[in-house]
Structure 1
């Protein structure tokens, strides 16, 4: 019975693995929550009643690949 308490599926060895897996999942939740919040903000800016002009211009230029000769495009990579 002592062996099962240490090496069993719910024993001490499994406990440390579960704690490590929980930490990894919590990190994923934080990253996904930040991404969700950014997407929610972008959706709110695209409200048909009051579209943000800067975002609309950015999307149109990106989709149509339209640029003037005197413009410079600076892209930022997402992490």
Structure 2
């Protein structure tokens, strides 16, 4: 499991909340998407089924999402859908 800095998480959440092309890449190739923002992901950590929270949800609750992700796997972003 990777340790995430708050800066890594902020960069990830900002991209997920604002960048449609990044969100599409995150759905289709999460390893490549994360690499594009300087975060290394083990392909074995990528879930087979992936659903991202809405851009609005991420933007509205960025602090709550950040708390859920710091120190956990970057791929936990796919588990945030039920947060809001």
Q: TM-score, normalised by structure 2?
A: 0.27
RCO higher in structure (CA 8 A, sep ≥6): 2
- Max Rg structure: 1
Give the alignment's TM-score, normalised by structure 1: 0.28
